[in-house]
Structure 1
Amino acid sequence: MSAETTDQLPTFETARKLGLLPDEYDRIIAILGRKPNFTELSIFSVMWSEHCSYKNSIIWLKTLPRDTTGDAPSRMLAKAGEENAGLVDIGDGLACSFKIESHNHPSAIEPYQGAATGVGGINRDIFTMGARPIAQLNSLRFGNLALPKTRRLLKGVVKGIGDYGNAFGIPTVGGEVYFDDCYNINPLVNAFSAGIVETGKVAKAIAYGVGNPVFIVGSATGKDGIHGATFASEDISDKSTEKLPAVQVGDPFMEKLLLEATLEVIATGYVVGIQDMGAAGIICSTSEMSAKGEHGMDIDLDKVPTRQINMEPFEILLSESQERMLVVIEKGKEDVIRQIFDKWDLNCEQIGVVTDTGRLHFHRYGQLVADVPADDLVLGGGAPQYEREYREPAYFQEFKKFSIDSIPDVETAEVRKVAEHLLSHPNICSRRWVYEQYDSMVGTANRSTNAPSDAAVVSVKGTDKSIVITVDCNSRYVNADPEEGCAIAVAEAARNIVCSGGEPLAITNCLNFGNPYVPEVYWQFVGAIKGMKKACERFNTPVTGGNVSFYNQSSDEGPVFPTPTIGMLGLMENPDYRMTLGFSQPDDLIYLIGESKNDVGSSEYLYSYRGVKGSPAPVFGLDEEFTLQSLIKEIIREKLVVSAHDISDGGLFVTLAESAMAGNVGFAIETDHRFRKDAFLFGESQSRVVVSVSRKKQAEFEAAVQKSKVPFSRLGTVIDADFVIDEDVVFSVADAKELYDNALGKKLQA
């Protein structure tokens, strides 16, 4: 949009180009009592975008549980949407702030900066709460790895995450990477961060107190990221590369300075409110803080430090330049904040004051350039809310028609071939090529590096506690059945935390879907919310917030698989509960806890080895899952097992292989002839965990499991160096590790 447009009142055509609907344009006129000027129209366009207002999703998001239920005491110190991130009490006067967000569209056109600024933004959400970040995760989805574009995007995203996170000094302790053709055009880049704060030192995103000064701190404001929120609220197309300026540019070293200065100024006790400038920049921070505090602001845009001369008012307001904060400080304490930020060599400029008008007045060159009511701009205020039409897609019933009898079972001689396919598949093989580019040990809090577990375990310094964190979603399951698939994602996240020795507490989510105006896409979204709701209620894991990312689709490829990524926080009170997934000693016994099924639905085996793309989600029951997890927690705390590893991608065989490779040992098992061999070894039916048990604990272990009524069976034993199934050697551990560890790197060199 040209700067000249600001000289005249815009028409609806201008509004349409900014992403506004006809009735929204009329609504703006009604709110203002006049036609908006271009700056005001730009303000409404970003604040009413899906990315900022959740206008197409908030009605359903409100149905999710926001607090603990029943007799369990509430740990929620901030409910979903109340603050920059979720906040959960972990005891002893401490709280954990955590959140996950997407940076999909920017990463699709500029993968390095798109991913890097995603990491920067999510960490700012955490330390704006007054919490010091201690761990990061990421959930990544890419297209076909055989495509040069996919390899370029993967390399750029991973380098962006690594360079920013490593320089910022926060360890990346885990995550997930998946590949499917549905992500060829539109990759998904979801970043998670968690930090620790004393409960009495939490900062809030609010503005109040007439006359209190408003400061902008951190980096100068440039033209990068303008209309980034609008860009994130439209489909990817051939013209998306023309919007490269909508991608922000990050500086991790500046962010490190901002982290220390922010925590120091919060510690003074003089901060009234503080908010990160992420999506929509200054206008988002000023409007959300003012609306929450039921106040207004007078802002002089001339005082905003800028990187370019003669920036237009809308450019200053909408810029998403990184490493910036808006701070409201107590009147009379201006010198305190200036001295702190001067010490850290950061910009710190008073740009306005808090008023009691409820309106935002923006001035430029002595002229009033925008006058808008704060509450009408924001989620929960006057921003529009829609419930879109939704319709079950035709494929859903077709997928249900799949019968396992339509494919041949694997013969004994074929087991190695399937095993080789799975261990080398990019959705299952080691992501070593990725994680070796991340610093996982900076801060010396990561307890998972040398003893891998299903979830990351990170020490809370100065206590015996650890947070246990994971990100999980099998989007193939969700595509097959959104409600069951999303419930499985929550259950698997909880299962991973339990198998690592933790207690699940709460979740954050990153909801990645296609265009919400497509009824079949919105049906997927609604189903996923229903599945998340019932699973979170069963596990008593409230939803603390997160991110909705619609429009993940292209005109050529259609929508991505519905991908509701679940970021879950757990707590480990005692370090003795720490559990590894690796087998330890030869002659330990291997057990399956939970019951196998004659089911290969939506498994990697069925999808990529047999080539069957349409099938139901795996067999799953919430009550069965809850009972299983209760048992796993008990036997870990009673020290009855040596290792625990849940069965997920690749089925039982992959779980056994990963446990064996982690301990550099082998296994010998017998298949259960009540089931087809492919279903038993490679099916992904849920609510199953593989554990190893020392012989001296065998009787005590079996008694505990029998008491619980959870089905279990002895599979075999840990042995020295081979993978043996029904007395046939499938792999040596050395050959399996060579295949598993290096497959991804070799594919990237192809």
Structure 2
Amino acid sequence: PQPWERGVDKPDHIAPALDIMLEGPIGAASYNNEFGRPALAGYFRTFEQADAASGITRGYHNPIMLAGGYGVIRPRHVNKNPLPAGCKIVVLGGPAMLIGLGGGAASSMAAGASSMELDFASVQRDNAEIQRRCQEVIDQCWAQGDENPILSIHDVGAGGLSNALPELVYQGKTGAVFDLRALHSADRGMSPMELWCNEAQERYVLAIAAADAQRFGAICERERAPHAIIGATNDSGRLVVADRHNGTNPVDMPLDVILGKTPGLSFEVQIYAKRQNQQGTDFKHAPARSRQGSVPGITLDETIARVLQLPAVADKRFLVTIGDRSVSGLVTRDQMVGPWQTPVADCAVTAATFGARTGEAMALGERPSVAVDNAPASGQLAVAEALTNICAGRILRLEDVALSANWMAAAGDPEEKAALYATVEAVSALAQQLRIPIPVGKDSMSMSVAWKDGDSEKRVSAPVSLNVTAYAPVADTRKTLTPQLRRVEDSVLLLIDLGMGKNRLGGSALAQVSQQTGLAAPDLDDPALLAACFNGVQLLNETGYILAYHDRSDGGVFITLCEMAFAGRCGLDIEVDDDDLAAFLFNEEPGVALQVRAEHLHTVRETLLRCGLPETSLVEVARPNGKREVRIIHRNRPVYAAGLDQLHQLWSLTTYHMQALRDNPHCAREEFEALQDLDDPGLSCEPTYRLARSAPRAGNARPAIGILREQGVNGHVEMAAAFDRAGFDCIDINMNDLLNRTASLDNLSGLVACGGFSYGDVLGAGGGWAKSILHNDRLRDEFERFFNRPDSFGLGVCNGCQMLSRLRSIIPGADDWPDFERNRSEQFESRVVMVEITDSRS
């Protein structure tokens, strides 16, 4: 344990925090890899704080794991259509299973408040491959434009079908009759309640016009996606659920009773009102209890070492490299920055389509540790962090940004309920002032764990935790700013301090590692300054004045500057004139740091002032040096110096220990020690040829190439885009097409087996794909005939490469092809590497 960590009791049936962080991210990454979406942003926070006076322990015995994403939808598909009588209601996806019972209720109550058996019953299981197949069906449908057979669609989440089906039918302004036993079920003994209410994942409910049911079924069959027609709509306005096993209707009632007149949720917030009366002031603006700036009993060297290793601050590479960051072929900015691939990017950016310069950006913000002292401030800071992160993208207007708000709280605690109400109110007011919508979000009100230890009752409750995800269209993906410090000695790092010199330390990394409580909490006191900062940075980005950009958040401006230095392998002189050195370096007031050339500094200042920022918010804080050291000069007196490699290793120590415990420890050690190599040139690209803007063609011909995929393959769309740009006519070929003889290899010039996870995310999964060919005499002959033609070629990538390597018995000249073995780290590795393309017969 670290010096600031104290052991906190837990009930026996929940996993230790270390186990969760070692195993949980692997599960999430594996699912996302197999489903086929790039993982481009995230965070890692640990927190525990015991208050001896109140007896309250704050922490995350119920851990938060955030997953989300964005997509693009055609205008004609935005709204759900009214449903005429006779529409077929379809459940698409996996079978009903005896899992996830009561999950919706469990997310609104403290763990331990019900029986342990119910806690376990609410847990669900995943099946990423089924999710992939369902997504292919949906993609095939919307791609048909006006011929899309789907009239309405709804996901199956909390409450299972008991929630999804009534909502689907009610929004379609109709009634319906459902046959429970028409559902695919993994357990024939499930009761009507279990079939109706289980929350088995990877399922959707859809309304399909009766005339399109056969066409939709054919799409499902082609993609091997399970589906069942379980009912039809009618004009009754009633919801009828029939069970043919016993001839009863377990549900038979008007839909209006279920959804038409749902009572609103109301809170009685007595604690909040009482605080207002006692203090005579708003909870949000409660007076500071103290404002200590120094760190008692800890040297500056020790303080820096501790803050660099705090998980919320430290290198998160162990969470980044296990997730695919390139699938889709549209990613233009992921977490890794610069030639040395340092995970410090402020936001993720993707292109709108292949070859486009426009796109979308996504960024996160969260500050739950502040909520212990000032919950509304924590909500406002979460919004501010999301906006200062996404500001790195080239976004035309602040009003173009939209937010998703995910709320977590221990709502069973009256004090936390009051804090939640005040935070929602503060965030709503902030969003309105900034003219930013919050159209979506989720909540979990179960952030408390209660248990008995002998005769004593114990409880650990999380502070109000708001995770904000910001989304925005990007005008030019090439103009995304990064924290990579440029080696321009005649440059300045300018801090835009939206805290206006208050330097409050409450809830900061410094407070956590020094176990200080009761400090004044930072806040976004003037939202207009945030808007001015956003607009000013966008203008400076467009005019090319910004060399590097990074937000100030966890760890304060010292960590902001260090991360910029790590990404650029460039030393810094940090110059501080403030009285309180520690408060200046480590406060986490909202703000950003810009690297600009010294010759442009006056223009940059004038631009920011014209946008509405006051002169006092603009602080020259550092300059690059040529010595690969980070030095701190306080009032013209050197007080600290350390080698860049030394600080980088401190920052990466947490990720090294996690990798050593989870992966191959020798690989983890090699990567960690490589940080000391100051002569490492990093990644570079030296093409020996000029890439043509358009592909060469033999006359007007576009050779036909088959884009071959199997269930679980997810890289076929970007593969088709690449070959289309190279001058080929791309044909989508599913293995079912070959099995059913609706497609053939005979007329193809080329064949490419695409990447993904056919037959699961396991080593050798491509072998299952190969066996489906080798053990089918007709398919084996067709592939062998193709590979033996003198005018054909084949390419295998990732999973497809594994598959082709197993077909070497039918491919001429492939006798010496290698087998694939497990890598040394024993993990999926998503890393950018350098390769040399040598001359070959290919």
What TM-score, normalized by structure 1, do the two folds share?
0.76
Letter in 2 for 1:611: Q
Distance 1:398 1:590 in 2: 32
Alignment of 1:335-734 (within 5 A): 335-365=214-244, 366-378=247-259, 381-383=261-263, 385-392=265-272, 400-405=287-292, 408=294, 414-449=299-334, 450-451=336-337, 452-462=344-354, 463-502=356-395, 503-504=397-398, 505-516=401-412, 518-555=413-450, 556-587=458-489, 588-594=491-497, 596-621=500-525, 622-673=527-578, 675-686=579-590, 688-708=591-611, 709-711=613-615, 712-720=618-626, 721-726=628-633, 727-734=638-645
Using the TM superposition, give the Cα deviation of residue 146 of structure 1 relative to its aligned residue in structure 2, in angstroms. 12
**Identity of aligned pairs, percent?**
18
Letter in 1 for 2:367: N
Deviations 1:482-530 (A, max 9, x none): 22221121122111111343355111111101024x3212111111111
Tell me, yes or no, if structure 1 residue 178 matches structure 2 residue 45.
Answer: yes
Q: Does the 8 Å contact 1:453/1:580 carry over to 2?
A: yes
Q: Does the residue aligned with 1:698 lie in a helix, a strand or coil?
A: helix
Task: Report the equivalent of 1:258.
Answer: 134
* Residue 729 to residue 323, structure 1, CA distance change in 2 (3 Å): same
Tell me, yes or no, if structure 1 residue 222 matches structure 2 residue 125.
Answer: no
Task: Report the equivalent of 2:199.
Answer: 320
Distance 2:284 2:262 in 1: 39
Using the TM superposition, give the Cα deviation of residue 706 of structure 1 relative to its aligned residue in structure 2, in angstroms. 4.3
Letter in 1 for 2:596: V
Using the TM superposition, give the Cα deviation of residue 265 of structure 1 relative to its aligned residue in structure 2, in angstroms. 2.6
Deviations 1:538-595 (A, max 9, x none): 2221011211211211222242110011111122112343111121114022112236
Distance 1:633 1:353 in 2: 52
Distance 1:397 1:194 in 2: 32
Deviations 1:111-144 (A, max 9, x none): xxxxxxxxxxxxxxxxxxxxxxxxxxxxxxx997
Letter in 2 for 1:716: A
* Residue 410 to residue 586, structure 1, CA distance change in 2 (3 Å): farther
Q: Does the residue aligned with 1:173 lie in a helix, a strand or coil?
A: coil
Distance 2:186 2:263 in 1: 31
Using the TM superposition, give the Cα deviation of residue 331 of structure 1 relative to its aligned residue in structure 2, in angstroms. 2.0
Letter in 2 for 1:222: M
Distance 2:116 2:67 in 1: 22
Q: Does the residue aligned with 2:622 lie in a helix, a strand or coil?
A: strand
Q: Does the 8 Å contact 2:153/2:206 carry over to 1?
A: yes
Letter in 2 for 1:491: A
Task: Report the equivalent of 1:740.
Answer: 651
Letter in 2 for 1:361: V
Using the TM superposition, give the Cα deviation of residue 479 of structure 1 relative to its aligned residue in structure 2, in angstroms. 2.9
What TM-score, normalized by structure 2, do the two folds share?
0.68
Distance 2:97 2:154 in 1: 19
Deviations 1:60-88 (A, max 9, x none): xxxxxxxxxxxxxxxxxxxxxxxxxxxxx
Distance 1:445 1:371 in 2: 48
Moved more, 289-298 or 695-704: 695-704
Letter in 2 for 1:165: N
Task: Report the equivalent of 1:160.
Answer: 27
Q: Does the 8 Å contact 1:143/1:179 carry over to 2?
A: no
Using the TM superposition, give the Cα deviation of residue 168 of structure 1 relative to its aligned residue in structure 2, in angstroms. 0.7
* Residue 232 to residue 474, structure 1, CA distance change in 2 (3 Å): same
Q: Does the residue aligned with 2:211 lie in a helix, a strand or coil?
A: coil
Moved more, 171-180 or 497-506: 497-506
Q: Does the 8 Å contact 2:284/2:376 carry over to 1?
A: no
Moved more, 567-576 or 332-341: 567-576
Using the TM superposition, give the Cα deviation of residue 625 of structure 1 relative to its aligned residue in structure 2, in angstroms. 2.1
Distance 1:661 1:340 in 2: 50
Q: Which runs of 5+ in 2 are unaligned?
A: 49-57, 338-343, 451-457, 662-842
Task: Report the equivalent of 1:21.
Answer: none
Q: Does the 8 Å contact 2:159/2:199 carry over to 1?
A: yes
Letter in 2 for 1:715: V
Using the TM superposition, give the Cα deviation of residue 157 of structure 1 relative to its aligned residue in structure 2, in angstroms. 1.7
Q: Does the 8 Å contact 1:603/1:650 carry over to 2?
A: no
Alignment of 1:75-154 (within 5 A): 149-154=16-21
Alignment of 1:16-31 (within 5 A): none
Distance 2:503 2:530 in 1: 17
Q: Does the 8 Å contact 2:60/2:461 carry over to 1?
A: no
Task: Report the equivalent of 2:694.
Answer: none
Q: Does the 8 Å contact 1:173/1:440 carry over to 2?
A: yes
Q: Does the residue aligned with 2:67 lie in a helix, a strand or coil?
A: strand
Task: Report the equivalent of 2:120.
Answer: 244
Q: Does the residue aligned with 1:211 lie in a helix, a strand or coil?
A: coil
Deviations 1:336-364 (A, max 9, x none): 11111111112222111101222110111
Letter in 2 for 1:243: D
Structure with bigger helix share is 1
Aligned residues: 602
Using the TM superposition, give the Cα deviation of residue 627 of structure 1 relative to its aligned residue in structure 2, in angstroms. 1.9
Using the TM superposition, give the Cα deviation of residue 400 of structure 1 relative to its aligned residue in structure 2, in angstroms. 4.0
Q: Does the 8 Å contact 1:640/1:697 carry over to 2?
A: yes
Q: Does the 8 Å contact 2:96/2:198 carry over to 1?
A: yes
Distance 1:601 1:222 in 2: 49
Deviations 1:673-713 (A, max 9, x none): 3x311111111222x22111123433432332344443313
Q: Does the residue aligned with 2:68 lie in a helix, a strand or coil?
A: strand
Using the TM superposition, give the Cα deviation of residue 367 of structure 1 relative to its aligned residue in structure 2, in angstroms. 2.5
Alignment of 1:171-210 (within 5 A): 171-181=38-48, 182-202=58-78, 204=80, 208-210=83-85
Q: Does the 8 Å contact 1:510/1:546 carry over to 2?
A: yes
Distance 1:145 1:696 in 2: 54
* Residue 482 to residue 619, structure 1, CA distance change in 2 (3 Å): closer
Using the TM superposition, give the Cα deviation of residue 184 of structure 1 relative to its aligned residue in structure 2, in angstroms. 4.1
CA RMSD for the aligned pairs?
A: 2.7
Distance 1:315 1:716 in 2: 62
Q: Does the residue aligned with 2:73 lie in a helix, a strand or coil?
A: strand
Task: Report the equivalent of 1:94.
Answer: none
Distance 1:612 1:399 in 2: 19
Using the TM superposition, give the Cα deviation of residue 156 of structure 1 relative to its aligned residue in structure 2, in angstroms. 2.6
Tell me, yes or no, if structure 1 residue 291 matches structure 2 residue 178.
Answer: no
* Residue 241 to residue 600, structure 1, CA distance change in 2 (3 Å): farther
Letter in 1 for 2:408: N
* Residue 331 to residue 376, structure 1, CA distance change in 2 (3 Å): same
Using the TM superposition, give the Cα deviation of residue 747 of structure 1 relative to its aligned residue in structure 2, in angstroms. 5.9
* Residue 335 to residue 397, structure 1, CA distance change in 2 (3 Å): closer
Q: Does the 8 Å contact 1:645/1:689 carry over to 2?
A: yes
Q: Does the 8 Å contact 1:219/1:347 carry over to 2?
A: yes
Distance 1:659 1:193 in 2: 27
Distance 2:509 2:181 in 1: 61
